[in-house]
Amino acid sequence: MNSNSRNWLLVIASSLFLGSATAISEIFLSNAIDHFLPEVNIVTKFRRPGSIIFLSTNQKVIQKIGPATREKINIKMMPSLIKTAFVAAEDRRFFEHKGVDLWGIGRAMMTNFRQKKIIEGGSTITQQLARIVFLNLDRSFTRKLKEAALAYKLERQLSKDEILERYLNNVYLGSGAYGIADAAWVYFTKTPKELTLEEVALIAGLAPAPSLFSPLVNPELAIERRSIVLKKMLKQGYIKEDQFLKAFKSPLHIKPAIPKYTNSSAPFFTSWVNQQLPEILTPEQIEIGGLKIRTSLNLAWQSNAQKIIQEQRPKDLQGALVSIQPSSGLVRVLVGGKNFEATQFNRVTQALRSPGSTFKIFPYAAAISEGFNPEDQFLDTPRCWDNYCPKNFEDKYIGEVSLSNAFKDSLNTVAVELLDLVGFEKVISTANKLGVGNVHPLGEYYSLAIGAYEQTVLDMTSAYAGLTNRGLYIKPTPLEEIRGPEDTVLWSYKTHHPKGVQAINSDVADTMNSMLQEVVNSGTGKVAFMESRPVAGKTGTSEGGRDLWFIGSIPQLSTGVWLGYDDNRETRRGSGDAAWIWKQYMLTIEKDFEVLEFPSRK
């Protein structure tokens, strides 16, 4: 081998060695740097700080609060026009660079130098995504270095489509719009696929300074930015000349709308959930946000209930309705009033109202626990206890009557007699075990037997749910699961919610449910009778009809309805109105339940 051949071999070998050494060093250096950088999978789980997403039990969005993207679009469903507009406007070499575009930085510096002001930025789409997810917006040199390192890491571990999808779903685009779907709705009341070329170009032009360029703030600047994007799209071959001219000359047609999911589809419910969070999460967890809260709400049932309370309640009465799953305590529906915008006062969880005869389940349950039977005979006549003289409805008395019939016809004298026979302590204890009177104490007065002490609709309905659950009381909750910013489970119903308490014997509960069925079949609650299935329930009316109640159950669901005025004036109506509302609601959802019988009384 001559000397020239040996020299060439030496050059080739040296090049291979240096190339390999450089590649190995680059890999080693990249791995070393990556070790100190956040994990890329955070991008896939990213939710903006401070945001809270409320989901129904079947993962439908109820509301999003804070700076949360309202809707995410998969890249495969993203119109190509949107992708090309943002690439042309923000990062024309996006599909060529590896995270940082040195040519782009140089070009931006030259343009800004010639114009003597900042016209272009050098950050790639990948860098912007890194800044959105991992970094703050300070302009320090350290932050720019971190941004570049993270961009390189993102490019090594994610595809271009994955990067573009996450960027388009999270970039802030002004006027409370986070992501392309939000922007399409906020500015044009459209979905992304409905946007025209000029609308896409306008939105793509917002990214560098969204608060300044928003068409709702500066329409002239927005059109100017739109023109710049259209010219870039034409120059880069994404659109044709005729498309450019048509879009360029198009006037600004803005049709603004509130971001989707900003308004809750169940406002009384989500406001109540918000009030529960400080009892479960730390102030830091709530402040940081990024929370995904799966609630117990059935959104379809909730919609039906809201419509019925709003449209079918008598005259101008207020109304409230809550449904609880007896076997779990999960609150499936909650309507706290006829109009949340008019008043945010929640009549299910906050209003203290006289429960009337719905309270009678407690003296009756206490009496049956003490050995009384539904067949036992009592005397229904006008009587007094320590100067307290209860009256029956319309002053009607029927003489000798069975305990079962006294309950069915809601005779006040018999309820007070039972309280006298078993004692205040046992009746109050029974109520307390079923969740009533613990927050708002019950007094030892004979009027207690017929509902003189005000309670909430939620507490009274949860007590009936405990009876339906054969005496096993489970505290009501609106929550199934809470996940944090990194999709970690912070709270779960299965592991954190208190277990049930056997408030009364199951046989006693079965007897009570049998008597409650008679109330609906042929007593004061017959307006709620359903031919398709058994119903157990009780009416309640306070003096002057100030409070109209019906709390009814099928084996799978207990629902309480209240009607009245907030100022506590007389309605001059009867509890049959509440029972009628209950039935109208149940008719809309009964198809979702198998027909089941209540356990038979032994």
Banded pLDDT at 16 (limits 50, 70, 90):
very low
Find the helix or strand (DSSP H, E) in which 90 lies. Answer: helix 80-90
Backbone angles phi, psi at 62, to 5 degrees: -95, -45
In order of their start, the domains of the chain are 71-249 (1.10.3810.10), 359-444 (3.40.710.10)
Q: Residue 167: its pLDDT value, please?
A: 93
Residue 525 in tokens? 């609650």
Banded pLDDT at 7 (limits 50, 70, 90):
low
Pick the range with the lowest mean pLDDT from 258-272, 459-473, 497-511, 569-583.
258-272
How many Å separate Cα 374 from the centre of its chain? 44
Pick from 289, 265, 234, 241: which is nearest to 89 by CA? 234
Pick the range with the lowest mean pLDDT from 271-285, 511-525, 586-600.
271-285
Banded pLDDT at 18 (limits 50, 70, 90):
very low
- C-alpha–C-alpha distance, residues 377 and 368, integer Å: 13
Could you please report the per-residue DSSP string of 140-209? -HHHHHHHHHHHHHHHHHS-HHHHHHHHHHH-B-STT-BSHHHHHHHHHS--GGG--HHHHHHHHTTTTS
The number of beta carbons lying within 10 Å of the beta carbon of residue 176 is 17
DSSP class of residue 358? G
- C-alpha–C-alpha distance, residues 464 and 528, integer Å: 16
Q: Residue 22: its pLDDT value, please?
A: 37
- C-alpha–C-alpha distance, residues 478 and 63, integer Å: 14
Find the helix or strand (DSSP H, E) in which 333 lies. Answer: strand 331-335
Banded pLDDT at 361 (limits 50, 70, 90):
very high
| Top-confidence range, 41-50, 202-211, 392-401, 414-423 | 414-423
User: What is the share, in percent, of the chain residues with pLDDT greater than 90?
Assistant: 68
| Strand, helix or coil for residue 511 | helix
Task: Examine the pLDDT at 25 and tell me if it is beyond 70.
Answer: no
- C-alpha–C-alpha distance, residues 403 and 514, integer Å: 12
Task: Examine the pLDDT at 203 and tell me if it is beyond 90.
Answer: yes
Q: Residue 65: its pLDDT value, please?
A: 81
Task: Examine the pLDDT at 421 and tell me if it is beyond 90.
Answer: yes
- C-alpha–C-alpha distance, residues 525 and 514, integer Å: 14
Could you please report the per-residue DSSP string of 52-86? EEEE-TTS-EEEEESS--S----GGGS-HHHHHHH
pLDDT, one tens digit per residue, over 498-545 is 889 999 999 999 999 999 999 999 999 999 999 999 999 999 999 989
Q: Residue 24: its pLDDT value, please?
A: 41
Banded pLDDT at 460 (limits 50, 70, 90):
very high
- Higher per-residue pLDDT: 44 or 70: 44
Mean pLDDT of the chain: 88
Pick from 537, 359, 343: which is nearest to 442 by CA? 359
Pick from 271, 332, 345: which is nearest to 299 by CA? 332
In this structure, are residues 186 and 79 in contact, taking their beta carbons and an 8 Å threshold?
Answer: no
Pick the range with the lowest mean pLDDT from 169-178, 357-366, 384-393.
169-178
Banded pLDDT at 340 (limits 50, 70, 90):
very high
Q: pTM here?
A: 0.76
Alpha-carbon distance values, 45 to 133, 137, 156 (Å): 10, 21, 18
Query: Which residues are CB-contacts of 137 (< 8 A; sequence separation ≥ 6)?
Result: 131
| Top-confidence range, 106-115, 132-141, 418-427 | 418-427
Q: Residue 420: its pLDDT value, please?
A: 97
To the nearest 10°, the Cα dihedral for 38, 44, 48, 54?
A: -140
